Amino acid sequence: MTSLYTEIVINAPKQKVWQALFQKEQWKHWNTFLYDRNSNVPFRQGNEVCLSLRRIPYEDETEFEPLVIQVQPHVCLSWVSSIPGFRNEYVFELQEIGVGRTQYIHKNYYSGFLTRVFLPFIRVDEQRGNQRMARELKRYVESF
């Protein structure tokens, strides 16, 4: 299984980080990588949410409808997006690493026979998008 990994330390309690990450309707205020396309559908295990992403700033958005597979408040959020032959699982984890400090971890797991076809075209831009989101989340949460 192929994966991408991003982490950053955020100088804020994980409850505060979770609030910013979990409230997808607020992403428009800080997130230039992932976008909420339907705020009426919350992150709840078993829900299919409508999102889009922009791997490179100012490029066209790519819409997708992942299935939320895990919501563990203040700890983990994950969803899976797939088409025949290609599966992408997003995992966001929060770890308390001290008083008022949180380790934010973003992982993508890719599988399926089309991974060899798609991943070479998106890997670098996807990794940069993940890193951009991490920096933006840090900046946003630490600013209030």
Considering the entire predicted model, what is its pTM?
A: 0.94
Closest CA to 41 of 15, 9, 65: 65
Three-state SS for 79-93 is EEEEECCEEEEEEEE
Instruction: Quote the CA–CA distance of 37 and 18 in Å, as a whole number.
Output: 20
Q: What number does CATH give the domain 2-142?
A: 3.30.530.20
Length of the chain: 144
Contact predicate 106/134, CB 8 Å: yes
pLDDT digits (tens, 9 = 90+) for 110-143: 999 999 998 888 899 999 999 999 999 999 999 9
Domain boundaries, the chain: 2-142
Three-state secondary structure call for residue 77 = strand
pLDDT digits (tens, 9 = 90+) for 3-14: 999 999 999 999
First-last CA distance in the chain: 38
